[in-house]
Each structure stands twice: as C-alpha cells, then as structure tokens.
C-alpha cells in the first residue's frame, strides 16, 4: 500500500511552518497592539528593504584597506588591486586573483575536521610563520593548540612561555612597581581604608545617569572571565572604623583578608609578592566553562556539545527555558553565611552567584552556547560531542570579543556609529587616523605585546575595575507587559539562586535594559562600599603610579574639599592610592565618560589582552588573506576552519573563503554591534529591545527594534486536519494499514536483535515486541533477573545481559570491575547519568518539574540531614513522635496482654513510619491532621504506579502519569498552605513548636525539616510541595528497611530479646540513649552496636532486584571495563542488582545468602561501594538521607522492642518466603505474628 502523495505533502507543509528559520537580522520598528504592548510592525523593517539586510560594514572596511593600499600585500590578492564599492562576500570572492598555475602547496591537503591522528609536525607547518620557536609541550598534542585549553595555557606558543595568561599564575604589573613596607610583602602603612572610602567614594547628591544596568552585568562578567584574586585564608588586615564614621558603630572593626599570594613570590626584594590570578587572562568565557579541566567536565552534558542546564518554566513565561544547574556536582562556589553551595548555581567561576544582573548575562550566554551547538550540529552533522563543544567554545569567545566592541562603544557620549574596525579608543589614545591603526594585522601584533610577551591582566587593572561593581543600588523587575513588579535591591540578590529563578530571567532583563545607572563620578552606595562584609576586597594593593603622575595634592582635584581630604589622609602625593587617583581624575577621555587614567589602565588593557589572544576573531578573519592566500588556505585552529569554508576548485584543492553563514552569525556585517540585542532576543521571550541595550532607549539614537515572535501553528487546525486525513485513510485502506503496522513492528524488532548481535552488545531477554519483558518485570522483577543470569550470565567474562523493558533495555551489570567503573564515573556522569534515568522513570512528574530541575529537596536534605548535629537534634523529634504513636496506637490493646496480627505487621509499621516522618518533616501541626497518614500511603502507591508507567509508556504520554500526581499534590497543599501561612506569621517564634504530645514536646528541644524549607523558599505552594516530597522520601526509605529489620529479628528466635537486652542493659554500662547514638561513626563500645549490625544486615538483604541504575550517557557505544569487546549502547540503562550483588559469595562469603545479624558487628558496611549499593554509588548522588534513615530505624526499633515481644507463626524463612520483587520496589510477604506486652 502506498500513502497518497497529497498526504505527505500536506504534512510537510505543516512541518515547514514550524521549522522555518529567521534571518538573524530580521528586525522591525514597533507598533502597539491592542493590549498597548510593542510588537514587530512588518510594514516597517529596520532597513526599509528587508531583503537587503544590514549594510556589510566589514566589506566596506576591507574594501578601503585594499583600495588605499594600507596593508602590505593585500592588494596583490585581488584583481587590479581593488574591490568594488559596497562589496558583498560574493563580490570579494569574485575579485580574488587566483594564480594561473597553482603554486607548490605549502601544506598537505587535510580533512575538514579535527582528528586526533593528525601528524604532530602539523603545528610547525601551520604556525611556522610565528617569529619564535614553538613550545613542544603544546604542539605534541593536537587538542592543545587546535582548540583552547581549559586553563589558558598554550595560547602563547613561544617556547618556554606556554603559561602566559594561564590560570593560577601571578598577575603582571602595568608599571613594574611594588610599594610594600619591607619591599617584599608586608602591607605598607597608609591611611585608614574606611576613612578613604568615606572621603572619596560616598554617593554624591548629583547623579549622572548614562547607561543601563545591563552594562554592569556585562562588565562584571568580563572581569570575572579574566581575573580573580582569591582571598588568603590566614592573612588579613583589621580596619577599625574612623572617627567620622556615620554608618557603623564606632567600635566596629572590619576584618579584610589579603589577596592570595602567587606561589614562590614574596621571598625577597628581588622577588616581591605578587597576586595570583585564579582565572585565565583570555576572553575565553572561562566564567561560563571553567578555568580547570575538572570544573569544565562537571558543567558539560556530553550530549551534542551542550552545557548542563535545568529546564524551568517560571511564572509569566510561555514555556520552560534553560537556567544554570544547581550545584549538585560540587564545583567551587562562593556563598554567604546560611546558604549552602548546593543551593546555588554551578558556573565556571566561583563568583557566579554574586548578583542577579550578572547572572542574567551568564544565563543568556549559557543558552547561547547551547543554541550555537544546535546550529553547528546542523551544519556539521559529522561532528561529535567533543568537536561541537570545543568549536562552539571558540565561536562563543569570538562573539564575546565582538560584544566587547559594543562594550567599548558604551563609553562614548555621542555613539559615533559606524566604527568600522572597532578600534576607536586606540585612535583617540594615540591621535592616529584609521589608516594607521586597524585590526588587519598578523599574529602576534606588536602593538599589543609588552616586552615581547602578550598583554595579560595586571594587578592595577583588577583594582581599577572595581569601579564597575555594585554601582546601582536597585533596579526594577518588569513583567511581560513592562509593568514594574517590584524594585529589587541589588545587594539582596547576592547568592540567591532560587530567587533568580522565581523572579525569572526575562523579568530581570527587562528591568536591566529599562532603567539607568550613574556614571563613574557619582560615588558608591553605602551597601556596596561595605560589601566586604560578604566578600573582602584587598586593601593592601599598593598605590601605583597615576596617569599622569601628580606632584601636588592640588593636581588631583579642583575641589578644595577633596584636596583637604587628601592632605588629611596622605602624607604626600606619592602615597595616594591608585583607585583614589582614578576617582578624582578630572581629565575625561575624548568623547568618553570615563577618566583618562581609569581608561588607560582598564579598558585599554582589556582591548590589548583581547588582541594578544591567538584565537582572536580579528586574526581568524584575516588568516587566509595575510598569512595564507584564499586559493591555498590552511586554517591553524578550529575557529579559522569554520570561518574559511572549502571552495571546490580542482586546481587548488586547499581553496577557501569566508563562510557567509558564520560571518552573519558573528555579525561581521556590523562589527558585532547587534550581538547584544540578538543575545537577548534569541535566548529569551523578549522580542522588543533597544538597538544597543547598554544605553537607555532613545527614539532617534537608540530606537526600539522588534524581532518576529516564533512562528506558531494553529494546533486545532492541525489536529482536525490530521484526524480527517487519518480517518479517511483508515476507512479506505484499513487492512493494508494494519498489515503495514504489524510488518513494521516485526521488522524493527528483528533489526534490533540482529543489530545488537553484530555490534557486540550483550544478549537480551527480548520478550514481546516493543513491550519486551515489561509486564513480567512488573509482576516479579527478581524472576526476570534470575532468568537472565541463567540464560546469559555465564556466557562471557563481563557476566552482563539485557532485559528489554518497553522503551528501554536494562543491562544488568554484576562484574566488580564494571560496577567499580560506574562508581568511578559517579562524580562526573560522563558515561552514566542518574538524572536521565530519573527522567525516564517519571521523577520530574513525581517530584514536580521545578523541584526536579533545581534538585532543591536533595540539596536541603544533604545540607541538613548530612550534618551530625542536626541529625542528633532531629533524633529527639523522632523519639518523641515514636513514643506518641506507640502510646496512642498500641500494638496490643490496653485490656489485653497480647494480640494476633493474622494479616502481618506491614500495615501497622507503614502507619508508624508515616506518622514519625510527618512529625519530623512537618512539625507538631502533623498531629492535628491524622488524615495525612493515609494520604501519604495512598500517594506512595500512586508513585509506584507512575514509576511503573515510566517503563511502559513513551515519554510523550507522560501526561497520563501527571494526572494522579497533580491530584495528590493539590490535596497536600490544602493541608500545608495554612500551616505555612501560620509559620510565616510567627517568624520570631518559629522554633517554639506547639501541640506537645504524650512524651512531652516543648520549647526548642524539637526541630522539624519544614523550618529549613521555609528559610529559603518564599513561594507557599512550592514550599508545600517540598514538604510533601520530604515526607514521602522518608516514608520511601524506611518502608522496607525498618519493616525488614523488625521481621528479620523476630525470624530468629531469641534475637529480638538479645538486642533489646543490649539496649536496656549494655555490657559496658553505657546507656543506649540519644547521646550515645551516632549514625555517622561506628564504635565497638556503642550500646547500639548489635541493633545497628542487624539493621545493616536487613538492609543488605532487602535490596531491589534492579538498581541502582543509570542511563548510558556516553555518546558512543560504551566498552565494558572487564571486557572491552562487549559494549553497551548509548541511551539505554545500565543497572546493578542489589539483590544479586549483596548475595555474591565474592562479597560476603559462603553464607552471603543467609541472614547473619552479627555480620556488621565489628566492622560496618562500606556504604555505596560495589559490595553495598543499597543507597546508591559513592559520589555526589549517594542517598543524602541515609543517616536520617539509620537514626530513625535505631530509635523506632528501640521504642518498639522496649514495649513488645513478637512471635511469628513461622520462623527460619528463606528469600522466597520473605520478599516480593516488583519493578524497583521490594515488599515483604505477610506472616501472622502474635505480639506480647513486655513486663515492666
């Protein structure tokens, strides 16, 4: 049967509407819609004739260079030594004067992408034009010079100088001067730094507003990209407040930590102390990617070159969008007291979370990187993850450098566009014309080298740039209608990642481009002058030479008050601090709004650094005009290879010319002046924005321009048309359709089986087509796993096999080498991903997407329940809750001495667990809502169903699982929202818990987890959801472990009495109470030792048949460590089996399958090792609540054993009589039990 052609064409039309790409510069002047909002007016394109697009200023500039002969050898490349007026890229190529006879090729023809097997001498061939010998440490490995290194090394390839600009080296000195008291490292004597701040840096009454807060975020990000002076841990200066202090009490003392010294400096006058730079000096976006290999690896997704993100739909946005991931991977981050690193965003620089404005820039760049990955993948489908990632790093740094051009333009009052080559400041500085300074130069460019070395960040530059920090006190948060939602204090945004998400990137960015900031002569707000309270600023940087040198105090300022302050604080003009001199400088740079001294030290240095970079976009754009020729072009790095695309020419196989796609993407036509506008509009829901976002909106000089919103499709029309087509086809061709579907299913199934066998994949338990063994696995997971071991487990060294479960195949791993490889990968998730596995089993639905994306619940649990002191305190709450439950719900009625539980103890223990968890997580208010017990037990059952659906349904049908989860959360919100409102209203008394129960709960003795949630979550509904999640997690962790601990004890006659005796009458006389219970450390003398040993043995034996598991995230087939000839396919599941591993004689001896309550008496289990995997694998994802679980089991079991004795109907049970194994869940089979009261 053939599907009618009309149907195919119709579907293609719909697809085209969705996927149509917009030209990068398609912008329109705005019109107002019915709601009063600006939208794109298609009748008013920016350039009139929209097809013409923007003028090619790069072509204009290159044409002038050629036609006027200002660059040696450039005219020789073009016919008649000239280019036509207004040349396009096609015009430029058509005028290239290709030789009639091909010259001898200087290099061999190369493949079009990076290959690790290229010859080592290629660097010498491609970079042989450099005026010095190359460092063999760099050229020996292709990835050291073809791409950027993470730490900035091998950018400068001169032999012996590969560390120039590298992370972790000393900063240079602009003027080579040091002013230490001893000439070595001791801080000089000088005026009180706070007195200096009070005199010269207080906010002035008259403010001059000239730029938007967007500039602050951009500058701060740039500075974090190139410099970081970390604080010393043990060297500090105490600064008492001066007598004129008005903002702090006079007895206040600031402790300011000195800047960390570079290693091996400060040893003598010949080797004075230098400041270490903890960032690379290049504009390489290390703030986004990291300056070390370790950090960079943790931030990567290892899929299509992209960085890790969390996808969040914030209030007021149309759809979910990417935000920085929370720091679950443990990269270094700075924080403030009370905020855990895990609650902050993970970024390439420890200062990532300093304020929302900078975070806005960071988030846009994160989205831009991933957007560029999609573009590159589409253009270069053969590129793998590594090639995409490394090439996009270069593209992004190129964009960032071009954005720097817009940054320098922000200092000019009259915005003198166009600035053809992006070097107006150089010309202003030297008085030269554009003929004498232009970026058409070979690398290295002598103008930007210092003493034969590249310009790198200096100590002076790092200090002067502190002018840009925190210069605005507040900025507005604006909604999609441009209404101000609130005015946000910038200082309050420090280290507040959840607040950033709650506010939303778009709402923050609208505020940063719709308001203004003061210029650099307006002083600094008090909040930020005192910011050292949160992050110290080094006051020991000596007073370097000012530009120019002032001989008299009167030379610094014409203001008599400022002169008087200088004389009061300094003994002579030479002592005046660098930042003071720059602040007082009245010599404004021509056409600019910044003092000359600051400009030379800061911005001039920044431009020089950008053009000292071997990967500079300026050099890349000129590679095949000034080093090679277009007909014999040999790129020397991945950026050049992308910009210069191959041109088919039989006579000249190495011919290349500009790739107009990437030139347009990098905005070469406008020298990068549109990149900031595009950065915002292409990576957010903001469609209308002023042309240069660094300046306030101005109708004439900086007009509002709008992009077209994303093309939409009338879903109703699409669905109705599709339904009509399908129904008509089914009616006419139903027999053929059914036969075709069946044939496709069988064909795909057979293909997969054959393909797996031929590619070295392990054998798979196939089962039914598509469903595989999913139904059997739901019923009895252990039976399916054991079937696999019987059929395939002994056929190869790895002892691995697959189980086909609907949409995924689960490969069961048991070989210790392979288990260890999973453990080794856990901190990095390069090969195995837990988060992707969680997505596959519907965890985003179970935990709600925003919580799953932020991982806030895990971070809170890890922070608080990973703290021994907190766990000990919450142990008191557990004990009181356990006592209350057992007294109000006795196992044996008060009128009887015993009671028979013919249906077993599971129902009672589940209620016991839920009640205690609810009290620990919610607080005493849990007692007021007894209905919560059944609500949580029902919720837990729904979770089991949703997890089961995850293995049966494709992802696009996950909405089915969403329905019961939403219903459950809504029920809990009705209970928790009033409790949260009450807590909020009692902030001052939130530790005074109400509702004391039997066993007495009073005062601050009892804590609950809700308090930790409310400390950092402002949104009531999200707080309620997090409370629900934490109670459910507690129930989930205890449900099988506590029940198994009890049932295993009473299965061995006399054991429960023995354990109870060890608790109540310890051999060493040490009482078993909360003061002696330490779940973090095992001691032989502990009275809890026997109970803990029995607990661990029960936990060992009650593990699930499948798990812990991970999605195989390697982009390629993953070879097993134990046998590399056996491979696992990417995108499938690698799973361990707690059931199998914990019963392996290799791990626990010949009695591994038997219950031995004293197995862990003298040595506890190695938790999360390959021998004991119940709580996951060692690394950042080990179960964070494991100490809470142990504490709860010990306390709750003690309370039960002290009150009751148990007599099961049968004892000496084996595994088959004890456990039932379902998909990811283990339950105990019921055994009738008689419970007796213990005599007092």
* pLDDT(112) > 50: no
Among residues 679, 633, 677, 627, which one has the least CA distance to residue 659? 633
The CATH number for 275's domain is 1.10.640.10
Please check whether residue 71 lies inside any domain of the structure.
no
Tens digits of per-residue pLDDT, 158-186? 999 998 888 877 756 554 566 676 777 78
What's the pLDDT at 8? Answer: 25
Q: Model confidence over 113-130: pLDDT tens digits?
A: 444 445 557 888 899 889
Of 582, 610, 638, the last residue of a domain is 610
For the residues 456-484, what does the mean pLDDT come to? 63
Q: What is the mean pLDDT of residues 780-806?
A: 80
pLDDT at residue 908 is higher than 60: yes
What's the whole-number mean pLDDT along residues 228-236?
75
Q: Is the pLDDT of residue 593 over 50?
A: no
Give buried/exposed letters for 709-739 (b at 16+ CB in 10 A, else e): eeeeeeeeeeeeeeeebeeebeeebeeeeee
pTM of the predicted protein model = 0.53
* DSSP label of 627: I
- 1032, 172, 917, 1016: which is closest to 612 by C-alpha? 172
pLDDT over 80 at 594, yes or no: no
- C-alpha span between 1186 and 1108 (Å, rounded): 15
pLDDT of amino acid 52: 57
Residues 1120 and 974 occupy one common structural domain: no
537-542: average pLDDT? 27
Q: Both 955 and 827 in a single domain?
A: no
336-340, 674-678, 871-875: segment of lowest average pLDDT: 336-340
Q: Is pLDDT of 1111 > 80? A: yes
36 and 183 share one domain = no
**Percent of the chain predicted with pLDDT > 90:** 36
Cα 176 to Cα 168: distance, rounded to the nearest angstrom: 20
- Res 747: pLDDT: 53
Q: pLDDT tens digit string along 715-768?
A: 333 343 344 445 544 555 555 666 666 555 555 555 555 454 546 788 898 888
Between CA 1230 and CA 468 the distance in angstroms is: 69
- Give the strands of the sheet with 764-765, arranged side by side: 764-765, 801-805, 808-812, 1133-1135, 1109-1112, 832-833
CA angle 294, 299, 304 (to 5 degrees): 120
In a domain, 818, yes or no: yes
Domain boundary (554, 587, 610) is at: 610
> In terms of domains, do 259 and 333 share one?
yes
Which residues on neighbouring strands pair with residue 504, listed in sequence order? none
pLDDT of 697 above 90: no
Q: What are phi and psi of 442, to 5 degrees?
A: -75, 155
pLDDT at residue 876 above 90? yes
The tens digit of pLDDT for each residue in 61-89 reads 888 888 888 788 889 999 999 999 888 88
User: Which has more pLDDT, 851 or 736?
Assistant: 851
Of 22-26, 725-729, 854-858, 1126-1130, the poorest mean pLDDT is in 725-729
Do residues 532 and 439 share a domain?
Answer: yes
Domain assignment of residue 149, yes or no: no
Examine the pLDDT at 990 and tell me if it is beyond 60: no
Q: HEC states along 1123-1147? A: CCCCEECCCCEEECEHHHHCCCHHH
Q: What is the largest CA-CA distance in the chain?
A: 113
* Mean pLDDT on 1198-1220: 94
Kindly tell me the number of DSSP H helices and DSSP E strands found in the chain. 44, 31
Do 297 and 216 belong together in one domain? yes
Report yes or no on 897 lying in a domain: yes
Residue 264 CB neighbours (<10 A): 9
CB atoms closer than 10 angstroms to residue 359:
27
Higher pLDDT, 1076 or 15: 1076
Do 885 and 921 reside in the same domain of the chain?
A: yes
Provide the pLDDT confidence category of residue 987 given band limits of 50, 70 and 90.
low
Length of the chain, in residues: 1240
Which has more pLDDT, 532 or 96? 96
Mean pLDDT of 222-245: 77
**Is residue 19 exposed (0-12), middle (13-18) or buried (19+ Cβ within 10 Å)?**
exposed
At residue 934 the predicted structure's pLDDT band, cuts being 50, 70 and 90, is very high
Query: In sequence order, what are the residues at sequence separation of 6 or more whose Cβ sits closer than 8 angstroms to the Cβ of residue 719?
Result: none
Q: Mean pLDDT for the chain?
A: 78
Q: What does the pLDDT read at residue 743?
A: 58
Give the residue from 199, 768, 955 showing the smallest Cα distance to 523.
199
- Rounded Cα distance between 76 and 80, Å, is 8
DSSP 1066-1105: -TTS---SGGG--TTS--TT-TTHHHHHHHHHHHHHT--S
Residue 570 covered by a domain: yes
pLDDT at 457 (0 to 100): 59
- Highest averaged pLDDT of the listed ranges 404-408, 732-736, 1048-1052: 1048-1052
- Mean pLDDT computed over 1127-1139: 92
pLDDT at residue 247, as a whole number: 66
Q: Which of 594, 610, 626 is the last residue of a domain?
A: 610
Count of domains for the chain: 4
The reported pLDDT for the residue numbered 140 is 87
Average the pLDDT over 479-501 and give the result: 86
pLDDT at 782 over 70: yes
Rounded Cα distance, 599 and 594, in Å: 6
CATH number for the domain that contains residue 1157: 1.10.630.10
351 and 499: one domain?
yes
pLDDT of res. 1066? 65
CATH number at residue 798: 3.30.43.20
How many other CB atoms are found less than 10 A from the CB of residue 1145? 10
Regarding whether 832 and 697 lie in a shared domain, the answer is no
Q: Residue 1205: inside a domain, yes or no?
A: yes
Residue 214 has pLDDT above 60, yes or no: yes
pLDDT (0 to 100) of residue 460: 46
pLDDT score of 1109 more than 70? yes
| Judgement on whether residues 1072 and 979 belong to the same structural domain of the protein | yes
**pLDDT tens readout for residues 951-967:** 555 555 556 767 888 89
pLDDT band at 134 (very low <50, low <70, confident <90, very high): very high
Residue 683 lies in domain = 21-53+674-707
| Per-residue pLDDT, 211 | 75
In a domain, 847, yes or no: yes
**Cross-strand bridge partners of residue 592:** 412
Q: What is the pLDDT of residue 70?
A: 76
Of residues 791 and 533, the one with the higher pLDDT is: 791
Domain check: are 1044 and 1125 in the same one? Answer: no
Tens of pLDDT, residues 629-648: 999 999 999 999 999 999 99
- pLDDT of 248 reads 65
pLDDT on residue 202: 58
% residues pLDDT > 70 (the chain)? 75
Do 980 and 1070 have their domain in common?
yes
How confident is residue 395, by pLDDT bands cut at 50, 70 and 90?
Answer: very high
Domain presence at residue 69: no
Q: How far apart are CA 390 and CA 691, in angstroms?
A: 30
Residue 1129 has pLDDT above 60, yes or no: yes
């Amino acid at each position: 049967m053939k599907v009618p052609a009309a149907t195919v064409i119709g579907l293609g039309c719909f697809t085209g509407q969705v996927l149509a790409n917009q030209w990068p510069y398609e912008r329109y002047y705005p019109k107002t819609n019915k709601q009063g909002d600006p939208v794109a007016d298609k009748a008013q394109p920016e350039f009139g004739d929209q097809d013409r697009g923007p003028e090619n200023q790069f072509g204009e500039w290159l044409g002038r260079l050629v036609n006027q002969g200002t660059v040696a050898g450039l005219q020789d490349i073009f016919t008649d030594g000239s280019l036509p007026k207004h040349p396009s890229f096609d015009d430029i190529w058509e005028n290239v004067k290709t030789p009639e006879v091909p010259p001898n090729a200087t290099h061999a023809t190369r493949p079009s992408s990076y290959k690790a097997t290229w010859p080592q001498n290629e660097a010498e061939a491609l970079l042989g034009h450099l005026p010095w010998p190359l460092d063999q440490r760099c050229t020996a490995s292709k990835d050291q010079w073809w791409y950027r290194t993470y730490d900035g090394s091998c950018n400068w390839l001169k032999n012996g100088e590969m560390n120039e600009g590298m992370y972790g080296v000393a900063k240079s000195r602009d003027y080579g001067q040091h002013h230490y008291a001893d000439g070595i490292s001791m801080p000089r004597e000088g005026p009180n730094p706070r007195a200096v701040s009070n005199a010269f840096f207080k906010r002035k009454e008259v403010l001059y507003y000239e730029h938007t807060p967007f500039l602050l975020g951009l500058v701060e990000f740039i500075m974090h990209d190139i410099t970081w002076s970390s604080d010393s841990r043990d060297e500090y200066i105490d600064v008492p407040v001066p007598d004129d202090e008005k903002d702090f009490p006079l007895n206040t003392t600031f402790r300011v930590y000195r800047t960390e010294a570079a290693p091996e400096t400060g040893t003598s006058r010949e080797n004075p102390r230098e400041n270490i730079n903890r960032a690379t000096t290049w504009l390489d976006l290390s703030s986004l990617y990291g300056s070390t290999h370790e950090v960079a690896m943790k931030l990567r997704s290892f899929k299509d070159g992209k960085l890790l993100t969390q996808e969040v739909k914030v209030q007021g946005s149309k759809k979910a969008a990417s935000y920085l991931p929370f720091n679950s991977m443990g990269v270094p981050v700075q924080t403030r007291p009370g905020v855990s690193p895990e609650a902050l965003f993970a970024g390439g620089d420890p200062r990532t979370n300093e304020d929302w404005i900078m975070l806005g820039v960071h988030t846009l760049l994160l989205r831009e990187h991933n957007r560029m990955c999609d573009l590159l993948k589409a253009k270069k489908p053969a590129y793998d993850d590594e090639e995409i990632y490394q090439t996009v790093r270069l593209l992004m740094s190129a964009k960032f450098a071009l954005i720097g051009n817009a940054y320098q333009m922000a200092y000019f009052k009259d915005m003198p566009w166009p600035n053809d080559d992006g070097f107006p400041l150089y010309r202003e500085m030297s008085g030269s014309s554009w003929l004498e300074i232009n970026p058409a130069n070979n690398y290295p460019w002598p103008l930007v080298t210092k003493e034969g070395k590249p310009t790198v960040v200096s100590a002076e530059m790092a200090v002067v740039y502190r002018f840009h920090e925190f210069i605005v006190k507040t900025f507005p948060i604006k909604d999609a209608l441009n209404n101000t939602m609130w005015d946000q204090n910038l200082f309050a945004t420090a280290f507040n990642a959840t607040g950033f998400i709650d506010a939303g990137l778009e709402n923050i960015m609208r505020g940063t481009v719709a308001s203004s900031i003061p210029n650099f002569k307006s002083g600094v707000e008090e909040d930020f002058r005192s910011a050292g309270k949160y992050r110290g600023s080094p006051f020991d940087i000596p007073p370097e030479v000012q530009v120019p040198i002032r001989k008299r105090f009167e030379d610094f300022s014409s203001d008599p008050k400022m002169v008087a302050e200088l004389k009061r604080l300094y003994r002579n003009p030479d002592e005046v601090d660098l930042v003071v001199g720059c602040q007082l400088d009245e010599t404004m740079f021509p056409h600019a709004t910044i003092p000359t001294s600051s400009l030379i030290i800061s911005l001039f240095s920044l431009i020089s650094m950008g053009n000292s970079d071997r990967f500079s976009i300026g050099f890349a754009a000129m590679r095949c005009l000034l080093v090679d020729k277009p007909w014999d072009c040999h790129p020397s790095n991945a950026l050049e290879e992308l910009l210069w695309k191959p041109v088919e020419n039989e006579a000249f196989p190495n011919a290349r010319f500009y790739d107009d796609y990437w030139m347009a993407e990098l905005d070469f036509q406008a020298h990068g002046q549109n990149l900031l506008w595009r950065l915002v509009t292409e990576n957010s829901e903001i469609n209308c924005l002023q042309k240069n976002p660094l300046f306030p909106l101005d109708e004439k000089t900086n007009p509002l321009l709008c992009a077209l919103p994303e093309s939409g499709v009338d879903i109703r029309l699409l669905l109705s048309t599709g339904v009509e087509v399908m129904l008509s086809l089914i009616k006419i061709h139903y027999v053929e359709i059914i036969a075709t579907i069946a044939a496709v299913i069988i064909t795909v199934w057979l293909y997969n089986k054959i393909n797996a066998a031929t590619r070295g994949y392990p054998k798979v338990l196939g089962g039914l087509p598509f469903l595989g063994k999913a139904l059997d696995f739901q019923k009895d997971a252990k039976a399916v796993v054991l079937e696999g071991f019987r059929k395939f487990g002994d056929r190869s060294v790895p002892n691995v096999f697959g189980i086909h479960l609907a949409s995924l195949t689960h490969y069961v791993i048991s070989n210790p080498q392979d288990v260890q490889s999973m453990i080794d990968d856990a901190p990095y998730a390069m090969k195995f991903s837990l988060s992707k596995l969680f997505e596959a089993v519907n965890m985003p639905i179970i935990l709600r997407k925003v919580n799953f994306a932020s991982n806030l619940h895990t971070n809170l649990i890890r922070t608080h329940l990973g703290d021994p002191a907190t766990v000990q305190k919450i142990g008191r709450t557990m004990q009181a809750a356990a006592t209350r439950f057992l007294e109000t719900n006795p196992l044996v009625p008060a009128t009887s001495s015993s009671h028979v539980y013919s249906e077993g103890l599971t129902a009672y223990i589940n209620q016991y667990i839920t009640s205690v968890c609810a009290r620990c997580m919610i607080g005493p208010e849990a007692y007021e809502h007894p209905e919560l017990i059944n609500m949580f037990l029902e919720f837990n059952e729904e979770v089991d169903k949703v997890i089961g659906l995850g293995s049966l349904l494709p992802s696009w049908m996950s909405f089915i699982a969403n329905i019961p989860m939403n219903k459950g959360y809504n029920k809990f919100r009705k209970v928790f929202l009033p409790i949260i409102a009450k807590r909020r209203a009692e902030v001052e008394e939130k530790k005074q818990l109400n509702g004391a129960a039997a066993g007495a709960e009073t005062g601050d003795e009892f804590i609950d987890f809700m308090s930790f949630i409310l400390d950092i979550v402002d949104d009531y509904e999200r707080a309620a959801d997090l409370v629900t999640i934490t109670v459910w997690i507690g129930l989930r962790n205890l449900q099988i472990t506590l029940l198994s601990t009890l049932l295993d004890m009473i299965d061995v006659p006399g054991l429960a009495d023995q354990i109870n005796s060890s608790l109540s009458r310890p051999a060493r006389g040490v009482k078993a109470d909360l003061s002696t219970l330490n779940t973090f450390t095992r001691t032989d003398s502990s009275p809890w030792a026997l109970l803990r040993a029995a607990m661990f043995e029960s936990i060992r034996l009650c593990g699930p048949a499948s798990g812990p598991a991970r999605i195989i995230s390697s982009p390629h087939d993953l070879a097993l460590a134990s046998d590399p000839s056996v491979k696992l396919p990417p995108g499938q599941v690698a799973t361990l089996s707690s059931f199998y591993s914990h019963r392996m004689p290799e791990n626990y001896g010949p009695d591994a399958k038997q219950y031995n309550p004293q197995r862990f008496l003298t040595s506890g289990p190695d938790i999360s090792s390959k021998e004991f995997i119940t709580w996951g694998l060692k690394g950042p994802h080990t179960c964070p609540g494991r100490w809470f679980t142990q504490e709860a089991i010990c306390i709750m079991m003690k309370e039960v054993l002290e009150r009751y004795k148990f007599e099961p109907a049968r004892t000496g049970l084996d595994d088959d009589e004890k456990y039932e194994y379902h998909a990811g869940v283990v339950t105990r089979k019921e055994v009738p039990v008689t419970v007796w009261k213990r005599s007092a």
